[in-house]
Structure 1
Amino acid sequence: MNIYESIYCVQMNDYYEMKHLIQYYRPMVTEIWADIFARKTSTILCEKEEFYRHADLLLYHCIFEFRLDRVMTFSSFYRRCLKNKAYDILRDCMRKQYQTSISLDQKIREDVSSYYGDIKLKDELEVHDIVMDQLMWEYTKNKILNVFGEEYVHVIDLRMEGYTLKYIANELDLTCSKVDFMFKKVKKWITTIDS
């Protein structure tokens, strides 16, 4: 089966091809469901049929989000997106099941536990996670800028968008080895940030 031909057909509103793509990826979807929801726990937090519905909807979105100018294949792209979705579902189920309190930095929690102890996570507070992730990334990016310079920030930005080191090297007019060195340098530095 030529999946790229099927993807093109779906993009051209031939939705009959969706059925073929769903069947083609069903073994991979089942494998991810089993790894995340069945093998590692005695309580299944997301039933297989429910996960299939999430996976099918995600497949449709991935078809329109996938960019051919990346070296990653569509199957790799879909697998990565599906795993992220599975972990999101798992986290959401665990929040609902255990009503976890908002997790704060240890020092802050000790200082202000009386203020935050009664706050429970709800679906509406998922926006909080997104905002906090974005703020944390902006903070980290500013530190990279201050420590290494703007070129390093460009390398990290492009890498996080899924571009290969070769593409980044061509884009920034650098050698592949230089980009690899820059990326590894920042990656090593990030493990020691604020420690």
Structure 2
Amino acid sequence: MNIYESIYLIQMNDFYEMNNLIQYYRPMVTEIWADIFVRKTNTILCDRDEFYRHADLLLYHCIFEYRMDRVLTFTSFYRKCTKNKAYDILRQALRKQCYLNQVNISLDQKIKEDTNMYYNGIQMTDSLEIHDIVIDKLMWEHIKNRISKVFGKDYIQIINLRTEGYTYQYIAKELGLSYSKVNFMFEKVKKWYTTIDS
């Protein structure tokens, strides 16, 4: 896999490529999670799926912050950022546990203090909003592909125009169909959508 080609495509808003890159780095992210949250603590303070969400968001930020003139490869850059993020989550979880239990907990010396906002210069918040946007777009593209396979491309055109806010009347005129035909096709997809994977 050509990582740098994938980075370029993602910067050009190719959300399928984002999914490919997430899957490519999943083993590395899993290893970091296991090393920090499983091997070094008695209890898992951040479950794997939650850490994946943080790592995916961080990957998205890294893609737009990475510079080719840096000494680090992108993989090394992302690994270092992900480890810093993991230690930050661990530190916050331990502090919260300490506060709830009113017990002094000695933090692992490898945990960097003040790593919040320090992911190799990347400015980000704890919000997972971008992750949700990317995943939603990936899911929507996946669903549209399924609609295209089940019903055909005409249905995709109607869905796209409808989700952009156009009326049935406008869509019918634009596609050269009757109002009732557009309405029927859209309702057919809506009914199918509510029953898929059920």
- Per the normalisation by structure 1, the TM-score is 0.51
Contact 2:88 2:115 in 1 (8 A): no
Q: 1:59-100, CA deviations, whole angstroms, 9 ceiling, x for partnerless residues?
A: 000000000011210000000000000000001101111029
Counterparts of 1:102-141 in structure 2, within 5 Å, are: 129=114
Matched, 1:42 2:42: yes
SS in 1 for 2:33: helix
Q: RCO higher in 1 or 2 (8 Å CA, sep ≥ 6)?
A: 2
Aligned counterpart, 2:183: none
Give the secondary-structure state (helix, strand or coil) at the position aligned to 2:67. Answer: coil
Partners of 1:130 and 1:24 in 2: CA distance: 26
Q: Deviations over 1:102-161 (max 9, x none)?
A: xxxxxxxxxxxxxxxxxxxxxxxxxxx589xx9xxxxxxxxxxxxxxxxxxxxxxxxx98
Matching of residues 27-176 of structure 1 within 5 Å: 27-99=27-99, 129=114
Q: 2:126 matched to which residue of 1? A: none
Residue 19 (structure 2) aligns with: 19
Q: Return closer, same or farther for 1:50/1:130 CA change in 2, 3 Å cut-off.
A: closer
Partner of 1:9: 9
Distance between the aligned counterparts of 2:39 and 2:70, measured in 1? 33
**Residue type of the partner of 2:30?**
T
CA distance in 2, matches of 1:19, 1:55: 13
Which protein is richer in helix relative to its size?
1
Secondary structure of the residue aligned to 1:99 is helix
Secondary structure in structure 1 of the residue aligned to 2:77:
helix
Q: CA shift at 1:42, angstroms?
A: 1.8
Q: Where does structure 2 lack aligned partners over 5 or more consecutive residues?
A: 101-113, 122-198
CA shift, 1:34, in A, is: 0.4
Q: Which amino acid aligns with 2:35?
A: D
Amino acid paired to 1:33: W
What letter corresponds to residue 68 of structure 2 in structure 1?
Answer: L
How many pairs are equivalent? 107
| Rg (Cα) greater in structure | 2
In the superposition, the TM-score normalised over structure 2's length comes to: 0.51
Over 2 Å off, 4+ runs: none
